[in-house]
Structure 1
Amino acid sequence: MIVPETLIRAAAPEDDDVLAELDRVTWSPLHAVLPAPVPPYGPFFDERHLPEDYLVAERAGVVVGYVRAAPPTPLAAMAHVRQIQGLVVAGSARGQGVARALLRAAMDRARADGAVRMTLRVLGHNAPARALYASEGFAVEGVLPGELFVGGAYVDDVLMGRSLTGS
């Protein structure tokens, strides 16, 4: 099978509908802490989720994923940190390096913005995501046991992070 090249670009307001649909069709208790979306659907972008916080992956002009990386808080003392606050890949593009490309692009963008640290939170039972993050240099920095109730079970909230400087 020939896999088209993945283009990573900044999100634009015009991506709202396609990203909202991607979010809906990829929803899973493996990674989501919010309930499954139900109609009527709201916009993808809002005052807390701005297009400039997102990078989009395209293949042959079709959006196949996105990553959101933003400051974890508005505190000036944390201006050097970016946090992955969402990483989604369409089922048709999974296992083809799209998530890795998005993650690397988010780290590159964070470095370019002056960030020196990247963090994220991942559900303890999401082994594929945890393996991806570990392979990209993220280390477990804390675990909040049973912090979340997802899919009828208590799930650990795993805190991971890495430096964006040096190796």
Structure 2
Amino acid sequence: MPEPLVRPARPDDEGALARLDRESWSPLFEVRPEPPAADAPFFRPTCGPDAHLVAEEDGRGVVGYVRLLPASPLETNAHVLQICGLVVAEEARGKGAGRALVRAAVGEARRRGARRITLRVLGPNTVARTLYTSEGFAVEGLLPGEFHVGGRYVDDVLMGRSLL
């Protein structure tokens, strides 16, 4: 099976990305207590198309996205970018879209001059954690019981990697 095409998001991806966000929501992956509302915008002023890369598969259109943002607003931290969301449609999981998006995010972070890339992932999300580890990310911190989702307390796992 060919690897999905990964490209920068465009304003006209709004509807597909909003639908993907709603359909893929799960307490296993999200700290939001419920899926986004049907009329909630996907792009926001602080997080527009330029903060996203999307994966497309022939015949299916957009099947995933990764959101890449500065790790903080501090100038002293400007060399670090953070993956602030990775979503793959259920029917596209296990077919390379997630891996392609992570690799594209690493490449984009390098292109932007970042020296490090980080992310946060919920402890029970072992599939994502395994993917990130296989792409060179290491656990750099753990916040035990940081979130209460799906009726239980779960760890917040901090991961990162050097881009040098």
**TM-score with structure 2 setting the length:** 0.95
Q: Indicate whether 1:30 and 2:40 are aligned.
A: no
CA RMSD of aligned residues (A): 1.2
In the alignment, residue 52 of structure 2 is paired with which amino acid? Y
Equivalent residue for 1:118?
A: 117
Displacement, 1:4?
Answer: 4.7
Using a 3 Å threshold, how does the CA distance of structure 1 residues 146 and 11 change in structure 2: closer, same or farther?
A: same
Displacement, 1:36?
Answer: 2.1
In the alignment, residue 64 of structure 1 is paired with which amino acid? V
CA contact (8 A) 1:8 1:105 kept: yes
Secondary structure of the corresponding residue to residue 154 of structure 2: strand
- State, as a whole percentage, how many aligned pairs show the same letter: 61
Displacement, 1:40?
Answer: 4.7
Equivalent residue for 1:16?
A: 14
Secondary structure of the corresponding residue to residue 102 of structure 2: helix
Equivalent residue for 1:72?
A: 71
Where do 5+ consecutive residues of structure 1 fail to align?
A: none
Equivalent residue for 1:161?
A: 160
Aligned-partner Cα distance in 2 for 1:110–1:29: 28
Aligned-partner Cα distance in 1 for 2:147–2:3: 37
Q: Summarize deviations over 1:11-62 as a string: whole Å, max 9, x none.
A: 0111111100000000011111002226452110011221101000001151
Aligned-partner Cα distance in 2 for 1:37–1:148: 16
In the alignment, residue 48 of structure 1 is paired with which amino acid? T
The correspondence of residues 49-68 of structure 1 with structure 2, limited to 5 A, is 49-60=47-58, 62-68=61-67
In the alignment, residue 136 of structure 2 is paired with which amino acid? G
CA contact (8 A) 1:144 1:157 kept: yes
Aligned-partner Cα distance in 2 for 1:80–1:5: 30
Secondary structure of the corresponding residue to residue 16 of structure 1: helix
CA contact (8 A) 2:81 2:114 kept: yes
Aligned-partner Cα distance in 2 for 1:96–1:78: 34
CA contact (8 A) 1:9 1:55 kept: yes
In the alignment, residue 151 of structure 1 is paired with which amino acid? G
Aligned-partner Cα distance in 1 for 2:155–2:104: 27
Q: Indicate whether 1:83 and 2:87 are aligned.
A: no
Query: How many residues are paired up?
Result: 163
Displacement, 1:74?
Answer: 1.4
